[in-house]
Structure 1
């Protein structure tokens, strides 16, 4: 009899017939005060796993007793004995060898297999689940007038509006006044909106032109010299703004700090004015297509705060953890949530469950979306609740998660052939295992287990030569590989031109990351607008160059296209002669460490330089 084709009713029926045939009909119980329905005699039949005869609700309570009695035999008899439950009873009629032979009855194996389910293979057909209809709240795509011309600066200002920047200016001025009252010695002039936009433009410029430290951007006549920063803002002014940049009201900060240890304390209070505005703008100007992904990213910092995390598998191992919801195809950041540490009242389902549920907002998204996630988030409870909320979900899972199938018959082993597939369906959930170079486990409420997809892999043949071979690949894993990379794509776009600068203040690190989110999302909007109009979009680099130049007020048309030609030598003092008209050559002093006098200088640079046949410092200085 094939165990895989026996139902629970059939297994029970055959088991009763088998019992009646050998031992006679069972005697009905008449003593209602008995502790157990029957006291099993150990002389007739041995069961390897007695738990299959108990109710599921009693399993947890009986678990310890089952472990204790596993070394003893549990047997059935046709005559009920009114003795204490699980009393050991020795019988000379059966030898241990005979009892062990009985324990391998196919009927018991069938009952266990029917109850727990077995792993199916790729040859077994699976029925695709019924999916919820895709009903977004708005038409997916850009929520702007697609025919209007938007400059890079205008797209960036959708996220950093004038009101938001005005709030930052007011709070920065308050914070600078507070610092000066503490005895800070630097000079401070109130910052206004135009100047703060220039400050943001310089941060984006520095993401494009990367130098070792901030001071290098203002060095003159140096190997690392650049022209733009000095034309936009003085070095000391940039540094004082960086020292004093503050997003929240300092007076309100004090009131919030007094609430530490109470439910009213907000760990993100110093970020709130900008954090909430950027989050609102991310959702206002773009609506995602059906496939979205949830993942986390690290905002690099070693600031001394309870929110700082260490994740050894991330490129930035130290930092603040940001949970992100992004569109899978474009990488557009839709929503985010900064992890603030363990709470005093943890949720019933855990952090990973709460994160996904907080990022998925039906009031904003709609229903019918397909959510992809990694094994940190995936659990049967989460996927079932998402299915009830009319969201499909797919993700890798950890076998240790509660509700995931373990120790089922016909499972994959380490010796399973590459491309082997195993799957189990439990209601809307399908659990799939696939053997690639290692075992991959995925759970989904969207896909059938296997639809005939094949992938190519390089393997060694019998003669140890590398060859390309097609192997089966489950449908959920194909979809996971295609759509899970939304947050990774967003991270990649951000890391190309990141405005992050080294600082030990955690909220400044997050503020600069919000600038990265704004500029990256603005570029994705530009790319989609260009596709709608049928024109070629700018590259990511050129788009950021335009944002920086327009914020700084630098006219790109007026920038020199080649080196200026008005570097001409002129006498230092034409009316004076001999040594009175001489000054020390700058090139000889800085490069050769020599003191050489010259009567010539560069008209444009106003730098004294030697101009002799055997010592032409003028040419060397400008080359």
Structure 2
């Protein structure tokens, strides 16, 4: 007999009783199976973010093996989990406390589609027509920069004269400033020990044809060098009064050109998909509080720059390090540096950022993934978020080429045994896709031969794209205009000029590739640029100097006869 009244709890029990009976009946139906989405959900996998990568073993990538082991079965490339028993090891949210091998199946993150804000490469109007080195370099050191240098240099010279310094001065104008910059580039190619050596005469080590003397006198060049200024002297004095307060700007003396150079570097060229972040040192021993010492760098003392560079060496953006910032996020210096250089509003999405272990952190990589970027880099053992488990981890006795990995959500940690153990973190690569690298190995008979060794995908891509900043440093050091000076802001100005010339040369190569022309070498490019700035044709040959006067032939014969007669008289 049915109850006349039901409580709220009874009604809920009756509803769910019918529901579970229908569910039990449906589950016994042989046509009812898990779908791909349901099976992924049961395994804890987000099907919109992950897909399953078929494991690629060394034997599959390099031919059949002689062992009797059966290779793992390859399933669907995306959306299907390889069996219920494997769902625990494939969970993206956590790992099971052990390192997997390359034979274990991995998940491939669905990397955001590469959608840059602009077409990568040289930007208009440089893409139309053919441009000379002077036209390209003028995109960085344009009339605005030249006028700033002229105005502030004249103000600084007048202030020095008022202080009682003795030198001859006349206002410098843009044309003369261009000639001055052209001489700096000329001296970068010639590279004599001292600036005065370019005007030296009547010595064994003088220049046979003193080209700088035909462009500008020595005293005029030295006067411009001593008074060259980037910022206004009056503004510098006002800023110096704020020293020790939060309003003090330690980069005030280079700020006018610093902002322009950064904007020019980003506007003239748009980087390609793979970019790198690293630090750069400008050599100086000036007495400034933000001078840095880096033991591992060739230039150990100097001003540190954090640089974003393309793989071809183009300096996309840079930031001068001046110590702890008052705008720090509290997440670490490396986090703040990368997030300040990698700007989605300028770049777009889908870019892959490569960095070394100073910058790599799970916190940073997760943040970049949320912004729509990929990331890959070496990481340090013991860092926060890096797996510290030793279960199934490679040891010093592990054979060369051993690969171990752990996936934690979007992060993939890979250990690879090469000469020493290498640890990588990536959010855009699988564990192993069949890449190998040749390494020397001693055979049983004592002979050495090169054998292929498995290499993780992240290591191969890191070696390919991480060298952007190193390539840029190498090109900047070629025919650099840098010279010793006590003024730290002049050192930075010289570096700005090196960046402008190096980036201009890279744009020249890009434009020549577009028009299918042969590009110049970096030295020839700088020589032609110096000639165009100074207004002297590059192919003009100097006239040979003649220190003796021609002697008429008759006088020569008379002198020869007198010498013969004198010899006969002496002999008799």
TM-score (norm 1): 0.71
CA distance in 2, matches of 1:270, 1:555: 35
1:276 aligns to 2:256 (yes or no) = no
Cα pair distance change 1:568/1:115, threshold 3 Å = closer
1:555 aligns to 2:537 (yes or no) = yes
Greater relative contact order structure (CA < 8 Å, 6+ sep): 2
Deviations 1:58-111 (A, max 9, x none): xxxxxxxxxxxxxxxxxxxxxxxxxxxxxxxxxxxxxxxxxxxxxxxxxxxxxx
CA distance in 2, matches of 1:501, 1:351: 31
Paired residue for 1:172? 153
CA distance in 2, matches of 1:266, 1:247: 15
Pairwise mapping of residues 5-404 of structure 1 onto structure 2 (< 5 A)?
117-145=97-125, 146-222=127-203, 223-225=205-207, 226-328=209-311, 330-343=312-325, 346-404=328-386
Q: Deviation at 1:239?
A: 1.1
The answer to whether the Cα contact below 8 Å between 2:354 and 2:375 also exists between their aligned partners in 1 is yes
CA distance in 1, matches of 2:409, 2:217: 66
Q: Deviation at 1:346?
A: 4.4
Q: Deviation at 1:536?
A: 0.6
Q: Deviation at 1:405?
A: 0.6
The answer to whether the Cα contact below 8 Å between 2:277 and 2:355 also exists between their aligned partners in 1 is yes
Q: Deviation at 1:276?
A: 0.9
Q: Deviation at 1:460?
A: 1.7
Paired residue for 1:27? none
Paired residue for 1:411? 393
The answer to whether the Cα contact below 8 Å between 1:116 and 1:408 also exists between their aligned partners in 2 is no
Deviations 1:28-78 (A, max 9, x none): xxxxxxxxxxxxxxxxxxxxxxxxxxxxxxxxxxxxxxxxxxxxxxxxxxx
Q: Deviation at 1:565?
A: 7.7
The answer to whether the Cα contact below 8 Å between 1:122 and 1:450 also exists between their aligned partners in 2 is yes
Q: Deviation at 1:343?
A: 3.3
SS of structure 1 residue aligned to 2:220: helix
Q: Deviation at 1:496?
A: 1.0
Task: Please point out which of 534, 544, 547 is paired with 1:564.
Answer: 544
Pairwise mapping of residues 574-589 of structure 1 onto structure 2 (< 5 A)?
none
- Count, aligned residues: 459
Paired residue for 1:586? none
Q: Deviation at 1:116?
A: 5.1
The answer to whether the Cα contact below 8 Å between 1:126 and 1:450 also exists between their aligned partners in 2 is no
CA distance in 2, matches of 1:202, 1:213: 14
Cα pair distance change 1:368/1:115, threshold 3 Å = closer
1:489 aligns to 2:458 (yes or no) = no
SS of structure 1 residue aligned to 2:449: strand
CA distance in 2, matches of 1:536, 1:348: 50
The answer to whether the Cα contact below 8 Å between 2:95 and 2:406 also exists between their aligned partners in 1 is no
Q: Deviation at 1:570?
A: 4.5
The answer to whether the Cα contact below 8 Å between 2:527 and 2:538 also exists between their aligned partners in 1 is no
CA distance in 1, matches of 2:206, 2:395: 59
The answer to whether the Cα contact below 8 Å between 2:441 and 2:451 also exists between their aligned partners in 1 is yes
CA distance in 2, matches of 1:224, 1:488: 36
TM-score (norm 2): 0.78
The answer to whether the Cα contact below 8 Å between 2:97 and 2:389 also exists between their aligned partners in 1 is no
Deviating runs (4+, > 4 A) in structure 1? 565-568
Cα pair distance change 1:442/1:115, threshold 3 Å = closer
SS of structure 2 residue aligned to 1:148: coil
- Unaligned stretches of 5+ residues in structure 1: 1-113, 572-611, 614-623
Q: Deviation at 1:509?
A: 0.4
The answer to whether the Cα contact below 8 Å between 1:147 and 1:533 also exists between their aligned partners in 2 is no
CA distance in 2, matches of 1:458, 1:235: 58
Cα pair distance change 1:345/1:554, threshold 3 Å = closer
CA distance in 2, matches of 1:381, 1:525: 35
Q: Deviation at 1:118?
A: 0.9
1:510 aligns to 2:492 (yes or no) = yes
Pairwise mapping of residues 434-449 of structure 1 onto structure 2 (< 5 A)?
434-449=416-431
